[in-house]
Structure 1
Amino acid sequence: MSAPARLPRSRSGAILSFVGFSVAAGVLLTLGVTPAIALTGMAANNSISLFENLPSYLKIGSLPEKTTIYAHRTVDGVDTNVPLTSFYAEDRDVVGWDQVSQFAKDAAVDAEDPRYYEHGGVDPLGVVRAALSNVMGGSLQGASTITQQYVKNVQVVQASALATTEEQEAAYEEATKTSLDRKLKEMRLAIALEKETSKDDILLGYLNIALFGGRTYGIQSAAQHYYSVNASDLSLAQAASLIAIVNNPEKFRLDQPDDPDNGAANGYAANLERRNYVLDKMLEYGHVTQQEHDDAIATPITPAIYNPPSGCQAAGNAAFFCDYVLNVIQNDPVFGADAESRYAAFARGGLQVFTTLDLDMQDVAQGSIDAQIPKSMDGVDIASAATAVQAGSGRILAMAENKDYNQDADAAEQGANFSAINYNTDFDYGGSGGFQAASTYKAFTLIAWLQAGHSLYDTVNVSEKELDLSTFKACDQSFSGTKLFENDENERGSRSIMQNVANSINGGFMAMAQQLDQCSIRNAASSLLVHSADGSPLEDFPANVLGATSVSPLTMATAYAGIANNGLVCSPIAIDRIVNQDGTDAQLPTSTCTQGIAPDIAQAAQFALRGPMENGTAVASNPDDGIEHIAKTGTSDGNQQTWTTGASSKVGLSVLVGQATGDADLRKTYLDNGTAATARHRIFEPIIAALDERYGGDDFTAPNRIFLYGQQLDVPDVIGLSSSQAQSIIEGAGLTFGDGGSQPSEEDAGTVISQNPGGGGTTSRGGTVTVITSSGVPPAPTPTAAPEEVPVPDVTNKSSKDAIAQLTAAGFSSSNITFAYTQDNNPANACKVKSSNPKPQTPTSKSAAIVLTLNSPTGAAPTPACPTS
């Protein structure tokens, strides 16, 4: 376009300008105007030699275009990539020759460079005219042809693509400064360009590169922005008004209706005047008829402004996922040397970024959170998030939270419902410092337990107690002091590991951790890609067994997807594919899948982690849709953060309901549908149900029996020993000592008078042997009257229920019938009588005690207990 008028200069300056332009015109006239003659190099005078020695090659690269992010959505039953939002430094869509209205092409030539198809890149007559005008009027006219304007714009684009701000500013100044030197270089490049490029291609390049006001570049984006049509569909009046903008983009733009000089109130008067000038030129040069001209002149300017979606705030309910994608690009060196250059390449590159997001699942996740959790509430900085990760690929399928996305610096001042923090991700990826994992972290103690050779039906003492921390080890580190660990439901006594997992018993997990190296728990977590959200190292102190580490939902969903995928864990990814502006595939970060834990360990962990969903703390999160799930709930100290994290064999899902700051008790925080502490279930259940319907799920593989019952150990006979001797022998045999109290006996006080299981039997490694000692007080004397005696019925191989019924029918009191247990791994024999004491047919008083020895898979009392009625 022609350069805008400058401030008046001195007459001497104008004369110097005339001399300079005259030299240029003389050179051009001497060179014969056309490129074919101008580049022969046959001229002999110094001016021509000087001109010939100027740079004559202009590299024209790709123009900056919008980068568009896509996500998946099912459209008419077909998985379709749909646009999510766009990013751009310059709003430009490059189009081809046939995609531009002929009106726009003609308008550009007639108004900006009517001799365009006649000259060779520089118009000598225009140069002379500009020189004379400069002398007579004292202002500098540029005499720029369309080709020269194109050259200048290409140089401006090249300047904006340089690495540093300093380099950009220097190159921009060089490309736009008003000087004879720059003008001559521009002319030289224009002549050279026309030798290599067709007129139509140069004109198309000009229409695609030109600024149309604001950040709108190129005829296609201008047509869409100002008139909501494609460039191919521009009417004559519309095309003329757009070409009018090119002359002075800020003055003639049509998207500022309140502009007093060029706004809606005066019919966009400034643009209208220039538009009509363009129409007059089109009539003058014969590209429109008089009627077409007059009809267009009579047409008022009525913009239909369309602002293309831009930035993550335009991504709807996927805004936080969009922000995560942006952080992935800015953090990964595959996209450039530093964050600034990576973003610049992203925003200018005209890329198509195809993400992993499943918008159908995103809608369910966001809707589930919105139905349960407010965006803000008085007294509680409520925070909720949900992330779904595909097992075996690491693809992020959904990422939602309860806040409205806003990256403005004053977002918090706009209302508590706004946030720039993505609760789903780590700090370095736009997230927070994380949330305490609580009991969801217990899965890693379970894995370390299995890796150490223990089994799921091993039993531990779960009773609340003050633990001596010196009994815990972490690599070569030792601990000191004591710590009281409490159970939510005041559980006491021995429980199997299966029961511990299902009911999330703190005491049970601390007892397990006492038998492990704490480093093994940390390593089990790390092997499944668990890490602190703030980047600090994972801790291995005893309290971390209960989930003191702060993590992100994305991290936990990834880990549980790995457990569900037989131990093969894949790093999370948000991008499936990136297509460059030229249609080639760009390099992108890919998921790395590793065998974090052995498949047989994972399968045993799956078996245990089904417990919370089927009969434990996560029952309320179970969709009961026929697909098996693993899961673990978590509630942090003070009920400040709550979780349900789980997986099918296809997808991992982690749901958080907590608080970003503060220490409110969520069990005492009431929402419309219940307490905040139970909202995690009401969010998790519909999301996992939708994921199951979309992605399905297989049954988990049954674990190897060695992980169920472990190594069977012989039970030592400790009857007759002191309690301390018995404890030493039992623990030395790899079993757990259980104190069953004392009873009256003729034996010395403290002497073991009975044990369960009995000596000579077997039980699982770590199993509890409960002993009863003598109180030292003899039992009450037996009455002298001979009781009535009857034969003991033979109840061998009868069920416990049937055996009791037969014995009571024979006159024996059910209150005097007790059970002992012996191990029998055949499930068909469970709870059947192995033997009785007294033996069958032995004459026995009806008031005598009868002990029935029942079969049990573990050699101990099963759960649930054997039926008695």
Structure 2
Amino acid sequence: MRVASRLGTVFSLLGAFVATAVAMGLIVACLFLPAIGAAGQATNGGVKLFNDMPGSFAMNPLAQQSRILASDGSVLATPFNQNRIVVPFSKISKTMKQAQVAIEDERFYQHGALDSRGLFRAIGSNVFSNGTQGASTLTQQYVKIAIQNEAINSGNTAKAQQAVSRTGMEGYVRKIQQLKYAVSLEQKYTKDQILDGYLNLVYYGGQAYGVEAAARQYFGIHASQLNLPQSALLAGVVNEPGTLDPFTNATGAVARRNVVLAKMYQQKLITRAQMIEAQNTKLKLNPHPVQSNSCANSKYAYFCYYVISWLQTQPSLGKSPKERMATLESGGLTIQTSFNPKMADIIDKQIRAKVPQGNKAGIDSAGVIVQPGTGLVLASGQNTKYSNSPGKGSSATNFAAPDGGYAYGSTAKIFAVITALENGWSPSKTVSVPSYNGKSKAGAPAHIFTHTEIPGQCGLGGDTWTLPNDAPQPRAGSKMSLTDATAQSVNTVFAKIVGELGACNVMKTTTQFGVKDGSGGTISSGPASITLGTSNTTPINLANAYATVASGGMYCPPHPVVSIKDGAGKKLKLSGTTCKRIMTKKVAAETSKIFESVITDPKGTTHGAIQLAGNRQSAGKTGTEDGSRNLWFVGYTPQMATAVWVGHHDTPRDMKNITLAGHLYTSPGGATSSPATSRRRSGRTSWTPHSRASRSSTS
């Protein structure tokens, strides 16, 4: 078997010689042909074949990892399909350059693309000894690996396999083609440029492509910091990265390292003393290698995946989500996000203090902060741990931006208020409380609305709507100002307001402010949906809608990314981030004043539940679905808007007589889970527990 293997290697080298000879135009009819037979008849054709082959070969940009950065510059994740960080030649240590050349191609700086002396030496070694020397130059290796790498990145596995195949006549033709590419490369680039390309290209095992990623993976340092024994070890791994990975085969990797050091000594690159010292150096590997590049291992996994999902909508990264993902994983992008880790830690901590992770009631909660005037998502948090194997206290769903969404209750009333103000109503305009001419299913006094009270295409049609108010019930026929009706969240008054304004007009305002259902479509146009938020939406959409009011009327689509730069540092265009004015400053200021009363009015639904942010304007609204199935508070200052949701993500169900963090809630409402509006200067967000039984049913 050993002899057969050696003969196979010799014939492979003879084939390489034929290829080399063709490339050099030196084949003559009988040279080597007794061993190869009819190949001599192909001599003239071989030379023509070589001349007709494409000769252009460029050192194309390499696939490398991208980086998703938080606002403070910390790394959230490094998406890649190849863990590579391209560095310039000057950022690679001298010993690393020397070690790689010494073991792969010691005459690299003396010969051209082809090394006939090395080829004859390799043939001799394989014929007369047990050696298995190769004869490819470092430039030829670069070409072969570059072709293979390009094929892998394009998903062409067959072409990738062909690039390294040595069998048959097709293998020899490919060898000839690669030789011609090598000639082209040597004519176009300097030796240092080719070596730089090689060191950034090759696989060093352990998920590390290129010398910078390898230095970080194995030693936790940069390529510029590699010392002699470290350089020799990496240079040795290239030959068999699958079997010489230092993490899995330290003995083999060290043995190969010492071979590289011996080569460097033989070539007078280092002294004998340096060789011995380096060979006796104990292997010290990085105790914290990169285990995975995915968002799943990020401390902020939910936000990270939100960023990835948003990036897949960006045309500047490709024509389709699949192409955009490929660009993200190979383009060396730098994605600067708006995410503030300090804010995220605080909101996450406060949410878990109120609704503990893995609580017995199985209740979920999430919060998100959006910056008014930009639409930038600053932070998010939730009371679960990220996991692809959902269980108690864990989930793979980002509750701040889930598919499906959650019923948002009386937080919807802000859109009726805005529509009223835009139609000339004043905050003090009064509306009569409708009569109580029926009862709800629970037996509470209610008003039965008909199509004459809520007419039009978005109205009741032939249906009726039995609608109660929360206790304490306002007196039927009494007058309530728009401000008081908002502060006390009186359902029947708002249904009457929607009927007078036109339900479709309120629906238009709601849509204009970016409120969509959890799947990205339009919310239901029924009166209950328009008036009391019985449709589903997401915390991010709702926080951003309120942020529009906080900004003075500028609507900016919610997004998590500030900028994207490609591998060369060029800024790429962001799509879907343009802001536009959708309400006047006057209407925005009046709206904020009205919703400030929700917090400050002694009869307001959150009075006493919110810790005010100093003397700043603080406004907001509670939202409670019937049966306390979904609880909300959305609040804002001029600097930021926060939405907090509490409920059951998978199967919405009533939340009554529940105990969370040692506190009993008999009939919780939106105020029970209200976050304080945040302090800009301190950067803190508090979430004060509220002990009283809050209003049920869309308060």
Q: Does the pair score TM above 0.5? A: yes
Q: CA deviation at 1:459?
A: 2.4
Q: Does 2:426 match 1:449? A: no
Aligned to 1:363: 345
Partner-residue secondary structure (3-state), 2:644: strand
Aligned to 2:21: 26
Q: Does 2:415 match 1:439? A: no
Q: Distance in 2 between matches of 1:61 and 1:343?
A: 20
Q: Does 2:536 match 1:550? A: yes
Structure with more contact order per residue of length (Cα contacts < 8 Å, sep ≥ 6)? 2
Aligned to 1:174: 162
Q: Are the aligned partners of 1:498 and 1:608 in contact in 2 as well (CA < 8 Å)?
A: yes
Partner-residue secondary structure (3-state), 1:397: strand
Letter of the structure 2 residue corresponding to residue 560 of structure 1:
Y
In structure 2, relative to structure 1, the CA distance for the partners of 1:18 and 1:537 (3 Å cut) is: closer
Aligned to 1:811: none
Q: Are the aligned partners of 1:521 and 1:540 in contact in 2 as well (CA < 8 Å)?
A: no
Partner deviation per Cα, 1:828-860 (whole Å, 9 max, x = no partner)? xxxxxxxxxxxxxxxxxxxxxxxxxxxxxxxxx
Aligned to 1:322: 304
Letter of the structure 2 residue corresponding to residue 21 of structure 1:
A
Aligned to 1:560: 546
Aligned to 2:326: 344
Partner-residue secondary structure (3-state), 1:643: strand
Pairing 1:225-236 to 2, within 5 Å after superposition: 225-236=217-228
Partner-residue secondary structure (3-state), 1:507: helix
Q: Distance in 1 between matches of 2:2 and 2:587?
A: 79
Q: Are the aligned partners of 2:458 and 2:503 in contact in 1 as well (CA < 8 Å)?
A: no
Aligned to 2:366: 385
> Which blocks of at least 5 consecutive residues in structure 1 are unaligned?
33-43, 74-80, 257-261, 263-267, 426-430, 697-869
Partner deviation per Cα, 1:386-412 (whole Å, 9 max, x = no partner)? 111111111111121111123x3xx21
Cα-Cα RMSD:
2.8
Aligned to 1:656: 645
Q: Distance in 1 between matches of 2:12 and 2:215?
A: 38
Which of structures 1 and 2 has the bigger CA Rg?
1
Q: Are the aligned partners of 1:121 and 1:187 in contact in 2 as well (CA < 8 Å)?
A: yes
Partner-residue secondary structure (3-state), 2:381: strand
Partner-residue secondary structure (3-state), 2:597: helix
Letter of the structure 2 residue corresponding to residue 432 of structure 1:
D
Pairing 1:15-94 to 2, within 5 Å after superposition: 17=12, 19-27=14-22, 47-73=46-72, 81-94=73-86
Q: CA deviation at 1:122?
A: 1.6
Q: Does 2:575 match 1:580? A: no
Q: CA deviation at 1:28?
A: 5.7
Q: CA deviation at 1:18?
A: 5.7
- Could you tell which deviates more after superposition, 198-207 or 508-517? 508-517
Partner-residue secondary structure (3-state), 2:74: strand
Q: CA deviation at 1:433?
A: 0.6
Partner deviation per Cα, 1:322-377 (whole Å, 9 max, x = no partner)? 11110011133332122221111001111111111122222221121122122222
Letter of the structure 1 residue corresponding to residue 407 of structure 2:
Q
Letter of the structure 2 residue corresponding to residue 382 of structure 1:
I
Q: 1:421 aligns with which of 397, 402, 415?
A: 397
In structure 2, relative to structure 1, the CA distance for the partners of 1:238 and 1:499 (3 Å cut) is: same
Letter of the structure 1 residue corresponding to residue 488 of structure 2:
N
Q: Are the aligned partners of 1:17 and 1:134 in contact in 2 as well (CA < 8 Å)?
A: no
Aligned to 1:240: 232
Letter of the structure 1 residue corresponding to residue 490 of structure 2:
I
Q: CA deviation at 1:682?
A: 7.4
Aligned to 2:509: 524
Pairing 1:455-494 to 2, within 5 Å after superposition: 455-456=426-427, 457-462=429-434, 463=436, 464-471=445-452, 472-475=454-457, 478-489=460-471, 490-493=473-476, 494=478
In structure 2, relative to structure 1, the CA distance for the partners of 1:624 and 1:349 (3 Å cut) is: closer
In structure 2, relative to structure 1, the CA distance for the partners of 1:516 and 1:139 (3 Å cut) is: farther
Partner-residue secondary structure (3-state), 1:357: coil
Q: Does 2:294 match 1:311? A: yes
Q: CA deviation at 1:383?
A: 1.6
Letter of the structure 1 residue corresponding to residue 294 of structure 2:
G
How many correspondences in the alignment? 646
Q: CA deviation at 1:238?
A: 1.5
Q: Are the aligned partners of 2:632 and 2:673 in contact in 1 as well (CA < 8 Å)?
A: no
Partner-residue secondary structure (3-state), 1:340: helix
Q: Distance in 1 between matches of 2:433 and 2:68?
A: 54
In structure 2, relative to structure 1, the CA distance for the partners of 1:566 and 1:475 (3 Å cut) is: farther
Letter of the structure 1 residue corresponding to residue 385 of structure 2:
D
Aligned to 2:245: 253
Aligned to 2:31: none
Partner-residue secondary structure (3-state), 1:252: coil
Q: CA deviation at 1:675?
A: 4.6
In structure 2, relative to structure 1, the CA distance for the partners of 1:141 and 1:292 (3 Å cut) is: closer
In structure 2, relative to structure 1, the CA distance for the partners of 1:98 and 1:450 (3 Å cut) is: closer
Q: Are the aligned partners of 1:72 and 1:82 in contact in 2 as well (CA < 8 Å)?
A: yes
Q: CA deviation at 1:216?
A: 0.5
Q: Are the aligned partners of 1:29 and 1:124 in contact in 2 as well (CA < 8 Å)?
A: no
Letter of the structure 1 residue corresponding to residue 58 of structure 2:
K
Q: CA deviation at 1:447?
A: 2.2
Letter of the structure 2 residue corresponding to residue 649 of structure 1:
P
Q: CA deviation at 1:140?
A: 8.3
Aligned to 1:716: none
In structure 2, relative to structure 1, the CA distance for the partners of 1:15 and 1:507 (3 Å cut) is: closer
Q: Which has the higher strand share?
A: 1
Q: Distance in 2 between matches of 1:434 and 1:203?
A: 54
In structure 2, relative to structure 1, the CA distance for the partners of 1:29 and 1:136 (3 Å cut) is: farther
Letter of the structure 2 residue corresponding to residue 518 of structure 1:
A
Q: CA deviation at 1:142?
A: 4.6
Q: Are the aligned partners of 2:385 and 2:393 in contact in 1 as well (CA < 8 Å)?
A: yes
- Could you tell which deviates more after superposition, 320-329 or 269-278? 269-278
Q: Distance in 1 between matches of 2:131 and 2:432?
A: 95
Q: Are the aligned partners of 1:444 and 1:525 in contact in 2 as well (CA < 8 Å)?
A: yes
Q: 2:594 aligns with which of 604, 608, 618?
A: 608
Q: Distance in 1 between matches of 2:164 and 2:23?
A: 22
Letter of the structure 1 residue corresponding to residue 146 of structure 2:
V
Q: Distance in 2 between matches of 1:26 and 1:205?
A: 27
Q: Are the aligned partners of 1:502 and 1:609 in contact in 2 as well (CA < 8 Å)?
A: yes
Q: Are the aligned partners of 2:622 and 2:674 in contact in 1 as well (CA < 8 Å)?
A: no
Q: CA deviation at 1:130?
A: 4.2
Partner deviation per Cα, 1:148-185 (whole Å, 9 max, x = no partner)? 111112212222332xx3xx223313322221111111
Q: CA deviation at 1:574?
A: 1.0
Aligned to 1:513: 498
Q: Are the aligned partners of 1:86 and 1:310 in contact in 2 as well (CA < 8 Å)?
A: yes
Q: Distance in 2 between matches of 1:82 and 1:304?
A: 20
Pairing 1:99-248 to 2, within 5 Å after superposition: 99-131=91-123, 142-162=134-154, 165=155, 168-178=156-166, 179-248=171-240
Partner deviation per Cα, 1:772-815 (whole Å, 9 max, x = no partner)? xxxxxxxxxxxxxxxxxxxxxxxxxxxxxxxxxxxxxxxxxxxx
Q: Distance in 2 between matches of 1:445 and 1:315?
A: 41
Partner deviation per Cα, 1:465-503 (whole Å, 9 max, x = no partner)? 341432222337652243321122133222332221001
Q: CA deviation at 1:129?
A: 4.0
Q: Are the aligned partners of 1:350 and 1:580 in contact in 2 as well (CA < 8 Å)?
A: yes
Q: CA deviation at 1:15?
A: 7.8
Q: Distance in 2 between matches of 1:383 and 1:574?
A: 23
Q: 1:666 aligns with which of 632, 655, 679?
A: 655
Letter of the structure 2 residue corresponding to residue 68 of structure 1:
R
Q: Distance in 1 between matches of 2:297 and 2:114?
A: 44
Among all aligned residue pairs of Structure 1 and Structure 2, give the percentage whose two residues are the same amino acid: 29
Q: Are the aligned partners of 1:352 and 1:580 in contact in 2 as well (CA < 8 Å)?
A: yes
Letter of the structure 1 residue corresponding to residue 375 of structure 2:
G
Q: Distance in 2 between matches of 1:148 and 1:6?
A: 27
Aligned to 2:335: 353
Q: Are the aligned partners of 2:447 and 2:492 in contact in 1 as well (CA < 8 Å)?
A: no
